[in-house]
Chain A
Amino acid sequence: MAIGRRPKRTLARLAVLVVASTVIFKFVLLPIRVVGYSMEPTFHNRAVNFINRLAYVRGLPRRGDVVGIRFSTSPGDTFHLLLLKRVVGLPGETISFSGGHVCVNGERQDEPYLKLPSDWNVPGKTLGPEEYYFVGDNRSMPPDQHEHGIAERARIVGRVLWKGND
């Protein structure tokens, strides 16, 4: 094994590399692999990406952001499975769907990322002060077969790093 002429220094470098990688890929950029088709065509099945966990340290999620949502709200900071969805509703708003498009307080939104046909018509839901509405970009299936709806701010892990085919 080649560890150089200064093994101590090599070991120290290795230790720094391991610690830095662990910190970065656990607390800053969470590596993810997309599984499923609910974000098609923006994010394809098996695509690799990162979740920026510091994205909302200073600001709040905005409409249009694609975020990672933790499944379990169990205590601790471990999560191996996330939902990848787009934020379409902000706290206090009433969100409904008409002809597949999101309506905010009854007003139909322009959604350029929506490429697949959809005929969703879903009655309005009003969000609480800490609540957001999430939905995938692929609304070609019936609404009851697509995971979408309201979750608290605390479930948002961060924003996706690469924006995909927006």
Chain B
Amino acid sequence: MKLIVRLILLAGLLALAVWSWGFFFPTPQKIIEKRLVKLARLASFSSKDGNIKRLADTERISLLLAQNIQVVVDIPGGKQTMFDNREELLQAALAARPAVKDLVVQFTDIGVVVNSDRKSAAALLTLKAKIGADADWLIEELRFTLKNTNDDWLITRVETVKPLR
């Protein structure tokens, strides 16, 4: 019995050590994944949010994006929309906000591949978005491209991917 207790304790300590290592020394994949989750959180808003919070969130989003970010959105039943730089994208987002009361954005099944130069990476994920409280979920596959600038992973391209083409 004592041996079992010791083994369980040892396994617990090992798990704690592994978790601590990952927490204090995260891999680029983990850093990028956290950034994308943060982006989804910042992009979400509710009608209860004040203007200051909205502006602050938009400012925080801008810190995650490269100046020359390219966004290509092509969803079934809609026309293709493109943005070629960060300001254009953020202005469009701010302009659209009064027309939308609530927006919930979630990124699931995030898979990150860091290139061998460790300066660029790609992330594939599934977007779940709900525009308005009673609306259906919009589900799209997205591909993010990121580059590492001064130890900071910035998003350089976002595009929708059609699972069925």
Contacts and interface: CB of A to CB of B under 8 A. Distances in A.
B110 A74 contact: yes
Interface of A: 35-36, 69-76, 78-81, 83, 85, 134, 142, 144-151, 155
28 contacts: A36-B136, A70-B163, A71-B109, A71-B126, A72-B109, A72-B125, A72-B141, A73-B111, A74-B124, A74-B125, A75-B111, A75-B113, A79-B109, A79-B126, A80-B108, A80-B109, A81-B108, A81-B128, A83-B163, A142-B77, A144-B77, A147-B76, A149-B162, A149-B165, A150-B164, A150-B165, A151-B163, A151-B164
B126 A80 contact: yes
Given A83-B164, A148-B164, A71 B111 contact: no
Contacts of B124: 72-74
Interface of B: 76-77, 108-113, 123-126, 128, 136-137, 139, 141, 162-165
B75 to A, nearest CB: 10
B91 to A, nearest CB: 29
Contacts of A35: 136-137
A155 B112 CA distance: 18
Contacts of A155: 163
A131 B113 CA distance: 24
Contacts of A72: 109, 111, 124-126, 141
Contacts of B109: 71-72, 74, 76, 78-81
B145 to A, nearest CB: 14
B165 A71 contact: no
B86 to A, nearest CB: 25
